């Protein structure tokens, strides 16, 4: 065997090429040492390179006649040259030591093998040429078979995978042994079964079917071949099967089945078949091992790259995105997701996702143990599910919502330091590889191991960053507190003054008083200042004239734009400012009293942005310090709240006064002043708009006034009408009734609104009696005019009472059927008569003296109304 036939695998640093694979998976050839006939190996120049044992034994048995051990026949060189030139086998008859041989010259790339077959006996018996032809054909067939045993690279250009090696060798086996079918099966030890690798049938690869050789031979014969580790021949009436165990380095690899329709295989064919099977096994195992090694190298290279990438950042979100993208590309899947425990480890959430629906699922929560991913996290075991619809653990709610259809899933836990932190899941293999396999599992498991460490490191980093920030914030707060404490210790008196000023400011609701208190506080807190001023801003950010509190004669002239701009900036930013020399900012001469300034914003934090600035000033440059700035800021905060509150209460007071005046203006025309004041003091009783309630309505009409007025001039008519209206209105208002309106020589009033009155009907009755008594007394005292009287109607019932009208003109009035009935009763009353409806009588029957008048038909009602004439009230009640 030459060095080129070696099966040693070369070390590699880069991806293997097809040539590399061929070198690595070379099929070990059958050595000439194993052949029973002489074999000589010559160089192309004719030098003897090798003799097999049969040839050596043959030479030892030759007669010792002094002849050369090996004499080359005439024509040897020409035949050798022809075989090398044409690169194909050439046959030559060779006579040597009284023996006749048929020699087959078989050229290869580096040498020429000569196979010698002794045909002396045939020649001695002078067999027919046909018999010699058959011998020649036998030699050709055997050599053809021997050619098949040469290294695979001699005729397998382009073979690069274990499956391709099997295909090539199966084809050669079928050719060499002249069989119809070659089937190769792999032994699955874990499942205790034979798994089909290929079926070569009638010159082409065929899919494994139920009538495949294994199913036709039967399991007993297959197990016999496997357990005995030797060939088993099984024959039926129509065909013969040869079962050949596949062994590699003492390990059972599988089974090769040859099928032919001819006679049984002879011993030579069985031996040759087993030899070919061993070649197939060695080639397949070498190729598979080579692929596995280089595949592992590729995986490790990828995983190293992944490890480098995912550890290149400590940003958790960025890292998770890298993990999902790499997993998607590495496993060739449609989508990838990473699910992690939340901070409390009570629930799960989707921390990262790629593929369709990723934006929807990101951040969604899962219960512990929910879905296949939740199960993996809960149990700490990886799973491969080829069809999720058949798995009861599958949780499909997110599929329905996102539009992504999960078909298969490979899920691996993320585990670090013995603690599970989540899981990574790959969904739906793509591009013709619908099923996940062990290689995918191994690859994702390795990736998950690196990813888990990186995720945990990122989380620790973020936690450390938060804790560092928290410590810094705490330290900053402590430092601020220390500074405040130091300032407080240094300015106890100032803080006491601020406290007292704050209390006074909170108690004071007058703006002018607040301003005076602030000026006095500045004088007490900052005696070195020359005075203070307050700047107020209103929309749209116009500077109002400053308010001077101390001293009163200080003014800001029109050239102090820098001061105004600084005050506006302080108010807008809400930050105090110390200007050591305003002239440096003004760019021109500033007022003499303004050189250094402290400005603090007037900001009520609960009411919105700053609305002004408080400033203290000095004619000296750099007259103040930061501690004084701090004190002024506190005072400004107190002042801002106090000014806001004072302004608010002043506005509320003004608003209340306007509301009171509006009520007075509205009701003083209708009700007595006492009722008006009660409404003003208790506005909750006043309900604007229409409201349905029970009222007593009184209508009074001056009887005889129409005829009397015909002969009066207008001036006297108005005077007389006002006199009679006064006699009607005064009793109504005296009983706290509400005067609704004057209608010609009639007046309308109602009781129990706007303020409730428990005895509203009695009040109306007393007012009616007082009206009649007033006009009687007037008629007795004035004998110069035509005597007149009132006709009055009173009814009780529901009505809509309130401000009724338009936004420009409204009246407080009552409307409804109750008003109509009272009006109709008044129209039917005679002069001096007071008519009560049944409802009005029922309200005062205990104290009223009445005269029933029977039922009366009134306008607007289909049914007659029971009417009573009021005579008076019982003496004891009155």
Q: What percent of the chain has pLDDT over 90?
A: 14
Q: List pLDDT tens digits, range 499-515.
A: 677 777 776 677 777 77
In the predicted structure, residue 588 carries a pLDDT above the cut 70: no
Question: Cβ distance 301 to 170 under 8 Å?
Answer: no
Other Cβ atoms closer than 10 A to 639: 26
Phi then psi for residue 119, to 5 deg, are -120, 25
Other Cβ atoms closer than 10 A to 418: 6
Q: List pLDDT tens digits, range 350-380.
A: 988 988 888 888 888 888 888 999 999 999 9
Strand partners for 95: 100
In the predicted structure, residue 270 carries a pLDDT above the cut 60: yes
497 and 430 in a single domain? The answer is no
Q: List pLDDT tens digits, range 668-717.
A: 655 556 566 655 665 554 555 678 999 999 999 988 777 777 777 888 77
Tokens of 110: 């580096």
Question: Cβ distance 214 to 257 under 8 Å?
Answer: yes
141 and 163 in a single domain? The answer is no
In a domain, 183, yes or no: yes
CATH of the domain at 733: 3.30.70.1230
Per-residue confidence (pLDDT) for residue 677, from 0 to 100: 65
For residues 216-237, average pLDDT: 80
From 97, 128, 148, the end of a domain falls on: 148
In a domain, 232, yes or no: yes
580 and 678 in a single domain? The answer is no
Question: Cβ distance 671 to 733 under 8 Å?
Answer: yes
pLDDT band at 479 (very low <50, low <70, confident <90, very high): confident
Tokens of 641: 């709240």
Per-residue confidence (pLDDT) for residue 573, from 0 to 100: 84
From 294, 324, 347, the end of a domain falls on: 294
691 and 797 in a single domain? The answer is yes
Per-residue confidence (pLDDT) for residue 426, from 0 to 100: 92
In the predicted structure, residue 207 carries a pLDDT above the cut 70: no
In a domain, 646, yes or no: yes
CATH of the domain at 601: 3.30.450.40
139 and 180 in a single domain? The answer is no
For residues 806-826, average pLDDT: 82
R_g over Cα of the chain? 60
In a domain, 473, yes or no: no
705 and 846 in a single domain? The answer is yes
Q: Which of 18-32, 479-493, 594-608 is modeled with the greatest confidence?
A: 594-608
Look at the chain and report how many structural domains it folds into.
5
Per-residue confidence (pLDDT) for residue 43, from 0 to 100: 80
In a domain, 607, yes or no: yes
Closest CA to 679 of 808, 803, 809: 803
For residues 311-320, average pLDDT: 77
CATH of the domain at 90: 3.30.450.20
Which residues form the domain of 615? 492-652
Among left, alpha and beta (phi > 0; psi -120 to 50; other), residue 354 is beta
687 and 835 in a single domain? The answer is yes
Tokens of 336: 């990838």
Question: Cβ distance 183 to 259 under 8 Å?
Answer: yes
pLDDT band at 9 (very low <50, low <70, confident <90, very high): very low
In a domain, 786, yes or no: yes
Non-local (6+) Cβ contacts of 423 within 8 A are 338, 339, 373, 376, 377, 411, 412, 413, 414, 448
In the predicted structure, residue 66 carries a pLDDT above the cut 50: no
In a domain, 116, yes or no: yes
699 and 821 in a single domain? The answer is yes
90 and 174 in a single domain? The answer is no
SS3 847: coil
In a domain, 313, yes or no: no
Question: Cβ distance 254 to 186 under 8 Å?
Answer: yes
Strand partners for 198: 184
pLDDT band at 412 (very low <50, low <70, confident <90, very high): very high
Q: Which residue has the tokens 């010699």?
A: 132
692 and 748 in a single domain? The answer is yes
From 268, 294, 320, the end of a domain falls on: 294
Question: Cβ distance 764 to 735 under 8 Å?
Answer: yes
Tokens of 184: 């190769």
In the predicted structure, residue 144 carries a pLDDT above the cut 60: no
Strand residue runs (E) in 560-663: 577-579, 596-602, 612-618
624 and 714 in a single domain? The answer is no
Average pLDDT, the chain: 76
> Which pairing describes strands 240-248 and 39-42: parallel, antiparallel, or unpaired?
unpaired
In the predicted structure, residue 650 carries a pLDDT above the cut 70: yes
Other Cβ atoms closer than 10 A to 14: 9
For residues 637-645, average pLDDT: 79
610 and 726 in a single domain? The answer is no
């Amino acid at each position: 065997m030459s060095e080129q036939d070696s099966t040693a695998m070369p070390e590699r640093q880069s991806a293997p090429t097809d040539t590399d694979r061929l070198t690595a998976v070379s099929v070990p050839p059958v050595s000439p040492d194993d052949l029973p006939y002489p074999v000589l190996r010559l160089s192309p120049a004719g030098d003897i390179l090798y003799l097999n044992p049969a040839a050596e034994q043959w030479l030892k048995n030759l007669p010792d006649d002094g002849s050369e051990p090996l004499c080359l026949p005439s024509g040897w060189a020409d035949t050798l040259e022809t075989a090398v030139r044409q690169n194909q086998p050439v046959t030559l008859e060779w006579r040597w030591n009284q023996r006749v041989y048929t020699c087959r010259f078989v050229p290869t790339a580096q040498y020429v093998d000569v196979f010698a077959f002794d045909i002396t006996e045939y020649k001695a018996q002078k067999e027919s040429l046909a018999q010699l032809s058959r011998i020649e054909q036998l030699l050709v067939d055997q050599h053809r078979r021997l050619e098949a045993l040469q290294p695979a690279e001699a005729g397998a250009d382009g073979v690069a995978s274990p499956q391709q090696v099997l295909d090539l060798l199966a084809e050669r086996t079928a050719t060499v042994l002249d069989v119809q079918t070659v089937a190769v099966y792999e032994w699955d030890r874990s499942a205790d079964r034979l798994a089909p690798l290929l079926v070569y049938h009638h010159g082409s690869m065929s899919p494994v079917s139920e009538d495949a050789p294994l199913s036709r031979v039967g399991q007993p014969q297959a197990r016999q071949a496997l357990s005995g580790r030797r060939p088993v021949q099984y024959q039926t009436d129509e065909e013969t099967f040869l079962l050949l165990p596949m062994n590699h380095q003492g390990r059972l690899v599988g089974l090769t089945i040859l099928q032919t329709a001819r006679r049984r295989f002879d011993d030579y064919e069985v031996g040759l078949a087993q030899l070919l099977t061993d070649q197939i096994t060695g080639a397949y195992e070498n190729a598979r091992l080579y692929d596995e090694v280089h595949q592992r190298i590729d995986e490790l290279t990828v995983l190293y790259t992944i490890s480098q990438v995912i550890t290149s950042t400590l940003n958790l979100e960025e890292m998770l995105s890298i993990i999902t993208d790499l997993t998607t590309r590495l496993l060739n899947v449609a989508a990838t997701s990473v699910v992690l425990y939340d901070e409390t480890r009570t629930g799960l959430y989707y921390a990262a996702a790629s593929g369709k629906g990723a934006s929807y699922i990101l951040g969604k929560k899962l219960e512990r143990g929910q879905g296949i991913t939740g199960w993996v996290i809960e149990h700490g075991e990886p799973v491969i599910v080829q069809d999720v619809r058949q798995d009861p653990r599958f949780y499909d709610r997110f599929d329905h919502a996102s539009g992504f259809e999960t078909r298969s899933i490979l899920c691996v836990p993320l585990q670090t330091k013995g603690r599970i932190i989540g899981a990574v899941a790959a969904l739906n293999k793509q591009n013709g590889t619908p099923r996940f396999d062990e290689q995918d599992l191994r690859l994702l498991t390795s990736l998950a191991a690196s990813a888990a460490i990186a995720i945990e490191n990122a989380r620790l980093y973020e936690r450390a960053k938060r804790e560092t920030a928290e410590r810094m914030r705490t330290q900053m707060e402590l430092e601020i507190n220390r500074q405040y404490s130091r300032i407080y210790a240094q300015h106890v008196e100032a803080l006491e003054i601020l406290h007292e000023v704050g209390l006074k400011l909170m108690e004071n609701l007058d703006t002018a008083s607040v301003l005076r208190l602030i000026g006095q506080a500045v004088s007490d807190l900052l005696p070195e200042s020359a005075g203070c001023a307050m700047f107020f801003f209103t929309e749209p950010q116009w500077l109002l004239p400053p308010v001077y509190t101390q001293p009163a004669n200080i003014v800001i002239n029109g050239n102090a734009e820098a001061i105004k701009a600084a005050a506006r900036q302080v108010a807008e930013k809400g930050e105090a400012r110390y200007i050591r020399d305003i002239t440096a900012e003004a760019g021109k001469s500033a007022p003499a009293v303004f050189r250094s300034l402290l400005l603090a914003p007037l900001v009520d934090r609960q009411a919105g942005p700053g609305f002004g600035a408080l400033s203290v000033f000095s004619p000296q440059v750099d007259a103040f310090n930061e501690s004084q700035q701090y004190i002024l800021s506190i005072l400004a905060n107190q002042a801002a709240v106090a000014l806001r509150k004072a302004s608010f209460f002043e506005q509320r007071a003004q608003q209340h006064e306007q509301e009171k005046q509006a009520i007075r203006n509205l009701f003083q025309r209708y009700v007595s002043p006492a009722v008006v004041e009660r409404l003003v003091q208790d506005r909750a009783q006043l309900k604007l708009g229409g409201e349905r309630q029970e009222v007593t309505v009184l209508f009074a009409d001056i009887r005889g006034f129409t005829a009397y007025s015909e002969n009066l001039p207008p001036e006297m008519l108005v005077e007389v009408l006002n006199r009679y209206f006064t006699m009607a209105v005064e009793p109504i208002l005296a009983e706290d009734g509400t005067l609704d309106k004057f209608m010609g020589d009639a007046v309308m009033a109602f009781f129990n609104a706007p303020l409730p009155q428990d005895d509203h009907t009695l009040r109306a009755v007393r007012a009616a009696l007082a009206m009649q008594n007033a006009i009687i007394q007037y008629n007795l005292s004035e004998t110069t005019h035509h005597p007149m009287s009132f006709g009055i109607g009173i009814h009780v019932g529901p009505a809509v009472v309130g401000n009724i009208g338009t936004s420009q003109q409204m009246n407080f009035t009552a409307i409804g059927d109750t008003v109509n009935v009272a009006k109709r009763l008044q129209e039917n009353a005679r002069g001096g008569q007071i008519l009560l409806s049944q409802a009005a009588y029922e309200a005062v029957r205990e104290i009223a003296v009445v005269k029933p008048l029977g039922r009366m038909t009134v306008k607007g009602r289909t049914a007659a109304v029971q009417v009573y004439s009021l005579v008076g009230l019982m003496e004891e009640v009155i």
